[in-house]
Structure 1
Amino acid sequence: MGCDRNCGLIAGAVIGAVLAVFGGILMPVGDLLIQKTIKKQVVLEEGTIAFKNWVKTGTEVYRQFWIFDVQNPQEVMMNSSNIQVKQRGPYTYRVRFLAKENVTQDAEDNTVSFLQPNGAIFEPSLSVGTEADNFTVLNLAVAAASHIYQNQFVQMILNSLINKSKSSMFQVRTLRELLWGYRDPFLSLVPYPVTTTVGLFYPYNNTADGVYKVFNGKDNISKVAIIDTYKGKRNLSYWESHCDMINGTDAASFPPFVEKSQVLQFFSSDICRSIYAVFESDVNLKGIPVYRFVLPSKAFASPVENPDNYCFCTEKIISKNCTSYGVLDISKCKEGRPVYISLPHFLYASPDVSEPIDGLNPNEEEHRTYLDIEPVNLLVKPSEKIQVLKNLKRNYIVPILWLNETGTIGDEKANMFRSQVTGKINLLGLIEMILLSVGVVMFVAFMISYCACRSKTIK
């Protein structure tokens, strides 16, 4: 009788030990199985889940615009007053809905090349108004003309054409015209060949960005989507030294197994440079745990604060010998047009940048970049020979608009991801913990009972 009881207790303890060991073994084995599956499915080649969603994004991507409407154009032109602006928006477009084109695999170096076609569809339900809404903004052609053509004789000719076309420093344009292009009356009078259509994003529809050549990850999963070349080059030819390098991905995707300690590098052709983001916080996105990475203020700092940024400093007048910060001159890659980029409302910029502009309210929570925000500003300078700019007594970096491009995972996709990925991972983790916990409890309980019984028998 005593033997049967002791044998049963020992058997229970053994079963508990086996369960605990099995649960413990399942942890690393399960992680290995998950990693193996992920590595197989994130390779950018025909037949994988990643490739299907990479060729044509499985999420809705929206680009929202906020326009800075100038409230006192006459005061600025006559008295060189501060520019008073009023933010209006958002105006929302659906973008990145077109599949990648000319997708070509190269087995020799494990890369895939493609073109990213551009297209934008206005979304009235997600906008505060229509594409016909009017805004008073800086005259793009007039501001660019005085910057591109420095010769005073040429500026005198341009001045006569500006006056003849009744153009001014500021203009009223619809949203559609401002973003996607309009025939400029001043440029239409210029006798030599010149583009007469002007727009902040002209041309856009029916164009394509690239060619991009990225690693497919077949030989090294940590290189998935990392850009090898852009338009056949590994450098941009805009900047000096490391600033000219094309680093990371295009920000649409990153290699798997991202760690919080990582610095995420990515390249944006819109802002003509590579940039980076650092971990900020854990975020729950529709039941899916994700990491939030943000662009740090250090990325926009002056070389005085961040020596690595010395090669982004180009314009000595605007940057005040590289001590001013928060804006980047990208005119070199915008055909000489005086385009400057910054964070919205000149967030993280030095006080001298925003001093001539009234109506800006930089807010870190609202205006930080979670990877894809691109503000657009234009430089306008005084000009003795161009009448509409003659009364200006200082330089202005005039904010035109800022935008936020957001990829939002739909409920259907989120449910599928939770059921097929996070759900299975959580279930596996739950099974591991149950086996380990039950096994340990059973082993300890049966061993205590066995020891108690043995002590009674000995007595």
Structure 2
Amino acid sequence: MVQCTLVLAGIGVFMAVGGALLGWVVFPGAVHDKIIENTELRQGTPQFKRFEALPQPLDFKVFIFNVTNPYEVQMGKRPRVVEVGPYIYFQYRQKDNIRFSRDRSKVHFSQQQLYVFDAESSYPLTENDPLMVLNMHMNSILQIAEDETYDSLRLINVELNRIFGRPDSMFLRTTPKEFLFDGVPFCVNVIGIAKAICKEIEKRNTKTIRVLPDGSMKFSFFNHKNMTEDGIYTINTGVKNALETQMIEFWNGKNMLDKWSNSSRGSSMTCNKIEGTDGSGYPPFREGVQRMTIFSSDICRTVDIKYVGSSSYEGIPAARYVTDDNFLNKIGPEHNNDCYCVNRIPKAIVKANGCLYEGALDLSTCFDAPVVLTLPHMMGAAEEYTSLIDGMHPNPEKHQIFVDVEPV
């Protein structure tokens, strides 16, 4: 009986030690290895199939500001706007031209996106709803001409009706379908000086303007993103270091952009550096990571995001990150990033040093057109901008940019 008890006790101790080893050494190591296996990019794996093409479309939601007092604005009144939306689109993503480096540590690819209107989810809104919006392409071209020479502006003013189809104001009657994807036509059947001006517009190769086979043009917000490539990416596969998975090595063969000017300290590296992921995937083991970086080709810059706390998505625990203050608020020589202060928009409201006020980013050098980025409803923007328009209702719960990342 004593011997049996000792044997059972020995077995108990062995099982306890074995359980501790499994619980503290073997199982965590196995889980760690499994996570790496499921995140690194190896051809033929389920993870790589998801990387090639998302198994289901994403929701792409668009809200548009409808101008309710266009004629009053022409008389010098402040614009009043009402938000309309969401207009919801299926967004399909697929990567093409995939090829690996010899050691499989890097993968090169291009990627395309397809947008299809989701009428059911958008109901009762439709793609053919009437809208009154700023005639963006006309006003942009006038601003560019004003910045160049007085003669350029005078010529365009004389030919305005021929180029833009007899506009009756600075605003445009359109529809979501036309404004977002199909395009607003202009430079239709032009001759003489008007045709020469349209040729100059074509030479600028602006993202949001496309030339049709008959020589006419169309402006649209997102057509340039629909079934077109946004460059060649080279990213890390994670096979050598899991913590580098999906980190961008090069975009179009470069690790630096040429869109942003030199800062007061003589360097544009802060603004032009390409780093981080493209936002569609992240390395594993994010728990405890306070900051991450995303590169967006849409706005020609890298964006820092910072950890603000835990969150969840459909019951799955996540870590929440929001854009750092240096995205739109802390920009200028005092923050060593005044290379973002391109000051290219004629008569823009800027500080004495040429930088925009808080909450706005000049994207003129990215779009080759006078474009300013803010958060929805100008959330966080300076009064110098928010006081110019009625109808803004910023709400952090709705309008803050955030990313939820599964931390394991």
TM-score range, shorter chain: 0.7 to 0.9
For residues 87 and 155 of structure 1, the distance between their equivalents in structure 2, rounded to whole angstroms, comes to 33
Shift of 1:280: 2.3
Shift of 1:20: 2.5
Query: Residues 3-402 of structure 1: matches in 2 within 5 Å?
Result: 4=1, 6-7=2-3, 9-26=5-22, 27-79=24-76, 81-95=77-91, 97-108=92-103, 110-128=105-123, 129-150=125-146, 151-164=149-162, 165-167=165-167, 168-185=169-186, 189=190, 190-192=194-196, 193=199, 194=202, 195=211, 196-239=217-260, 240-303=268-331, 307-315=335-343, 317-320=348-351, 321=353, 322=355, 324-334=357-367, 336-371=368-403
For residues 39 and 261 of structure 1, the distance between their equivalents in structure 2, rounded to whole angstroms, comes to 17
Amino acid at match of 2:269: S
For residues 365 and 188 of structure 2, the distance between their equivalents in structure 1, rounded to whole angstroms, comes to 21
Considering fraction of residues, name the structure with more helix: 1
Q: Is the 8 A contact 1:117 1:209 kept in 2?
A: yes
Shift of 1:368: 0.7
Q: Aligned pair count?
A: 368
For residues 184 and 152 of structure 1, the distance between their equivalents in structure 2, rounded to whole angstroms, comes to 26
Secondary structure of 1:149 counterpart: helix
Amino acid at match of 1:160: V
Secondary structure of 2:222 counterpart: coil
1:334-371 deviation line (CA, Å, top 9, x unaligned): 1x211111111111221212110110011111111124
Query: Residues 397-412 of structure 1: matches in 2 within 5 Å?
Result: none
State the structure with more CA Rg: 1
Distance change >3 Å, CA 188–CA 262, structure 1 → 2: farther
Secondary structure of 1:184 counterpart: strand
TM-score under structure 1 normalisation? Answer: 0.75
User: Which deviates the most, 43-52 or 238-247?
Assistant: 43-52
Shift of 1:272: 1.2
RMSD: 2.4
TM-score under structure 2 normalisation? Answer: 0.84
Percent sequence identity is 30
1:150-208 deviation line (CA, Å, top 9, x unaligned): 21112112112224532131011110111114343357643122342111123333311
Shift of 1:118: 2.3
Distance change >3 Å, CA 352–CA 13, structure 1 → 2: farther
Q: Is the 8 A contact 1:260 1:291 kept in 2?
A: no
Q: Is the 8 A contact 2:295 2:303 kept in 1?
A: yes
User: Which deviates the most, 359-368 or 198-207?
Assistant: 198-207
Q: Is the 8 A contact 1:180 1:204 kept in 2?
A: no
Indicate the structure whose relative CO is greater, using CA pairs within 8 Å and at least 6 residues apart: 1
For residues 63 and 269 of structure 2, the distance between their equivalents in structure 1, rounded to whole angstroms, comes to 34
Q: Is the 8 A contact 2:94 2:113 kept in 1?
A: no
Shift of 1:71: 0.8
Shift of 1:55: 0.5
Q: Is the 8 A contact 1:215 1:225 kept in 2?
A: yes
- Corresponding residue number in structure 1 for 2:208: none
For residues 319 and 333 of structure 2, the distance between their equivalents in structure 1, rounded to whole angstroms, comes to 28
Secondary structure of 1:249 counterpart: coil
Q: Is the 8 A contact 2:356 2:362 kept in 1?
A: no
Shift of 1:304: 5.8
- Corresponding residue number in structure 1 for 2:265: none
For residues 116 and 5 of structure 2, the distance between their equivalents in structure 1, rounded to whole angstroms, comes to 71
Amino acid at match of 1:345: H
Shift of 1:38: 2.0
Amino acid at match of 2:278: D
Amino acid at match of 1:172: R
Query: Is there any run of 5+ residues in structure 2 with no aligned partner, and where?
Result: 203-210, 212-216, 261-267
For residues 295 and 58 of structure 1, the distance between their equivalents in structure 2, rounded to whole angstroms, comes to 28
Secondary structure of 1:171 counterpart: strand
For residues 178 and 122 of structure 2, the distance between their equivalents in structure 1, rounded to whole angstroms, comes to 17
